[in-house]
């Protein structure tokens, strides 16, 4: 079983888009793919259960159906920083619990994509950050780089933090956040020159109103992270 941890240079940078697109790509090649988002905020009650759009997108594009309580052990209704919500509710965001859930799920799939929350160093409370979660899972990391002004600095800092955590950068994906970014190709070349992992794809600005359609389109711009 192969697995990866997906993080981003910021929040709202396309982690779910790319994670779901990877799951779709892998499923389309006949693999058992399963997406996990251990921490999520922003949900609504439907039929007596909290539903989060990102979590549901991963589930729709996975070829395996996992236990929702294992896939997302920490789900908050309000759309806010999870460590703040956890502190308010007296909840501890425990990487060890997430790691145990991951181990319980891994035999169900050929590939697992674990989507982080926010950027790599997002606070998780009790002095922990997203880096602690990635370390607990001990998975190679895919970095989603939001292509906009400031992307180079954010990407290089994130890559340095990933390496400082003792983790391998499996690859990175450029996601065109700013359609009018000046010198876009030069910025991409700088990322290729400076980042230690391979580029797994560059996703143009996608304007389809339907999330599933954007995910379908994004999958066509990605390469298999474990090819070869």
Q: Which of 16, 23, 25, 37 is catalytic?
A: 37
Token reading at 217:
């389109």
The DSSP element (H or E) to which 199 belongs, if any, is strand 199-203
Half-sphere exposure of 30 (CA within 13 A, CB side): 0
Backbone φ and ψ of 12, nearest 5°: 55, 45
- Whether 7 and 141 have beta carbons less than 8 Å apart is answered as yes
Q: 10 Å Cβ neighbour count for 40?
A: 23
**CA 192 – CA 179 distance, rounded (Å):** 20
Token reading at 186:
């030069």
- Whether 207 and 187 have beta carbons less than 8 Å apart is answered as no
**Active-site residue 15, yes or no?**
no
Backbone φ and ψ of 213, nearest 5°: -70, -40
**CA 73 – CA 101 distance, rounded (Å):** 8
Active-site residue list: 37
């Amino acid at each position: 079983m192969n697995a990866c941890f997906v993080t981003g240079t910021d929040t709202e940078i396309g982690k779910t888009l790319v994670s779901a697109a990877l799951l779709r790509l892998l499923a389309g090649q006949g693999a058992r793919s399963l997406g996990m988002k251990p921490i999520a905020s922003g949900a609504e009650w439907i039929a007596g259960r909290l539903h989060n759009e990102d979590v549901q997108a991963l589930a729709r594009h996975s070829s395996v159906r996992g236990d929702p309580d294992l896939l997302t052990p920490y789900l908050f209704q309000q759309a806010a920083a999870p460590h703040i919500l956890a502190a308010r509710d007296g909840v501890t965001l425990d990487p060890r619990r997430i790691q145990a859930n991951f181990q319980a799920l891994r035999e169900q799939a050929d590939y697992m994509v674990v989507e982080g929350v926010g950027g790599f160093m997002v606070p998780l409370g009790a002095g922990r950050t997203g880096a602690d979660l990635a370390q607990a899972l001990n998975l190679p990391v895919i970095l989603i780089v939001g292509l906009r002004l400031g992307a180079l600095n954010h990407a290089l800092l994130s890559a340095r933090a990933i390496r400082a955590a003792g983790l391998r950068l499996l690859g990175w994906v450029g996601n065109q956040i700013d359609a009018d970014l000046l010198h876009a190709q030069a910025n991409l070349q700088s990322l290729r020159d400076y980042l230690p992992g391979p580029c797994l794809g560059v996703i143009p600005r996608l304007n389809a109103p339907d999330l599933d359609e954007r995910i379908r389109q994004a999958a066509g711009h990605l390469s298999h992270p474990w090819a070869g």
